[in-house]
Amino acid sequence: MTFFGNAIYILPWLIIVETKLTKLFPPQLPRGFIAGGGVCGIKKDGGPDLALLYSESEAAIAASFTTNRVAAAPVKLSREVASGGRCRAVIANSGGANAATGERGDIDARRMAARAAEALGIDPALVAVASTGRIGRFLPIEKIERGIEELAAVVRRGGNGSAAAAIMTTDTRPKEIAYQFEVEGRPVRIWGMAKGAGMIYLKMRVAGPPHATMFCFLLTDLEAEAGFLRTALAAALEQSFNRITVDADTSTNDTVILLANGSSEAKVEAGTAGSAVFREALDRVTRELAWMIVADGEGAGKFVSIEVSGAASDDDARRSAAAVANSPLFKCALYGETPNWGRLLAALGYSGAELAEDRIAVWAGDLQVVRSGLLVELEPGRAEEELGRERISLKVDLGLGEGRDVYYTCDFSPEYVAINKE
């Protein structure tokens, strides 16, 4: 599935002012940032496994980590960095999560930060660390230290593509995106890269408690305070990474980091016009990266959006959409392209949301499949046609109130099990 190349998915109630944002092809880094990715030998297959992001000047940082109580060592370290509000670099590895590794894990995470700081000539307290891969194994720290030195010597303005490749695990392709917009006449950029694939069911909190399979690193040359960035990031996460699910598992290392280094000389604060356009850009970058993660979910062949409206409350709408998005049985039916709306109704029924069965309506694309809680009689093959698409848009109206929300998910295929059995 590669339909996210250019397409912009516009929700009916979320109108994006198209003209203000320009997508950059290929994605380019904002000013004052350099990046790179390389091979340090963690992965047995010799694939790229180390990425470095560096800001030429001190940047403001906002970050968010998994709520899993088994916190990876790099998550604990990066939470400290984020709480200080300032950051110069991020060092990230794939191939090992450095989670459930005890004291030695903490020491290894600090060694990664220290070596990067030394190689870049910066304060180690300003280096964030992120790790992804298998939980419970120690990192090959000497290999990583050598790799950090080599990488620090070659990072460059055009190194973003190699960085995005180096954080991949079971991802089938790198995920990277950039937009440009104007603030008071000055051009500003925002760039982001992400990885995902499995163990994706995110319950993140900005500067909240932490977990190791989803990364999103965001860089902008805007000038902004860490407090403003935190508020903007929290809102962006709510409509992006916190609205997707691949397998209802929540990882130990999920990490989102946003750096703003001010190189554009355009400053924004809460309430200004610049703030609105920046938040729109941030929302779009995070949402598109989140969709890329779902579309590249382990074994996924379909991208499915589940919009719920008419719920008694927004909370109920979220619960309903999440229950459908997480139902293994319904997702198997999506894989089989079998219209089994009963499974969708069952998921609504156990979601915990208030329901009046005879008011439920469901649409697949423009085709109504459930009316007043009953399956609509359809021409043979009509529903299968809708389910045959790579991208499926499901809409549920609970007929009770004004609550609405949306979740994004993928189908559930035998390949998922094949990928995860090892």
The footprint of a copy of itself on residues 269-308 (CB under 8 A) is: none
The footprint of a copy of itself on residues 170-209 (CB under 8 A) is: 198-199, 203
Minimum distance from CB of 246 to a copy of itself (Å)? 9
Q: Token pair for residue 170?
A: 């079971």
Counting contacts by CB under 8 A, is residue 107 touching a copy of itself? Answer: no
Contact pattern from residue 14 through residue 53 relative to a copy of itself, giving x for each residue in contact according to CB under 8 A and a dash for the rest: ----------------------------------------
How many alpha carbons fall within 13 Å on the CB side of residue 399?
A: 12
Counting contacts by CB under 8 A, is residue 137 touching a copy of itself? Answer: yes
Q: Is the peptide bond before 26 cis (omega within 30 degrees of 0)?
A: yes
Contact pattern from residue 327 through residue 356 relative to a copy of itself, giving x for each residue in contact according to CB under 8 A and a dash for the rest: xxx--xx-xx-x-xxxx-xxxxxx--x-x-
Counting contacts by CB under 8 A, is residue 101 touching a copy of itself? Answer: yes
Minimum distance from CB of 138 to a copy of itself (Å)? 9
Minimum distance from CB of 320 to a copy of itself (Å)? 10
Minimum distance from CB of 386 to a copy of itself (Å)? 16
3-state secondary structure of 135: coil
| CB 198, CB 247: distance < 8 Å | yes
Counting contacts by CB under 8 A, is residue 161 touching a copy of itself? Answer: no
Helices 141-154 + 102-120 axis angle, to 10: 20
Task: Output the CA–CA distances (angstroms, integers) from residue 76 to 64, 105, 113, 197, 314, in the order listed.
Answer: 11, 10, 12, 23, 32
| CB 241, CB 201: distance < 8 Å | no
Minimum distance from CB of 279 to a copy of itself (Å)? 29
Task: Output the CA–CA distances (angstroms, integers) from residue 203 to 180, 211, 250, 256, in the order listed.
Answer: 29, 10, 8, 12
d(CA 206, CA 191): 19
d(CA 378, CA 388): 16
Task: Output the CA–CA distances (angstroms, integers) from residue 408 to 157, 233, 240, 295, 344, in the order listed.
Answer: 33, 19, 9, 9, 15
| Amino acid making up residue 75 | V
Contact range with a copy of itself by CB under 8 A, out of 27-35, 141-149, 184-192, 324-332: 324-332
d(CA 225, CA 227): 5
Contact pattern from residue 56 through residue 95 relative to a copy of itself, giving x for each residue in contact according to CB under 8 A and a dash for the rest: ----------xxxxxx------------------------
Question: How long a stretch of residues is the chain?
Answer: 422
Minimum distance from CB of 273 to a copy of itself (Å)? 40
| CB 399, CB 310: distance < 8 Å | yes
Residue number with CB closer to a copy of itself (366 or 422): 422
* Catalytic residue, candidates 132, 170, 213, 220: 213
Active site residue 245: no
Among 22, 239, 368, 420, binds a copy of itself (CB under 8 A): 420
Contact range with a copy of itself by CB under 8 A, out of 48-56, 141-149, 168-176, 411-419: 411-419
Minimum distance from CB of 400 to a copy of itself (Å)? 12
Which residue matches tokens 């800001």? 55
Residue among 149, 175, 181 nearest 161 (CA): 175
DSSP for residue 341:
H
Among 359, 375, 378, 385, binds a copy of itself (CB under 8 A): 375
Contact range with a copy of itself by CB under 8 A, out of 57-65, 115-123, 241-249, 307-315: 241-249
Contact range with a copy of itself by CB under 8 A, out of 130-138, 189-197, 289-297, 380-388: 130-138
What is the DSSP annotation of 49-82?
-EEEEEEEEEEEEEEEEE--SS--HHHHHHHHHH
Task: Say how many residues touch a copy of itself, by CB under 8 A.
Answer: 63
Q: Work out whether the CA dihedral 76, 79, 84, 86 comes out positive or negative.
A: positive
Question: Which residues are designated catalytic?
Answer: 213
Residues that bind a copy of itself (CB under 8 A): 66-71, 97, 99-102, 134-137, 198-199, 203, 211-212, 247-252, 326-329, 332-333, 335-336, 338, 340-343, 345-350, 353, 355, 357-358, 370, 372-375, 412-414, 416-418, 420-422
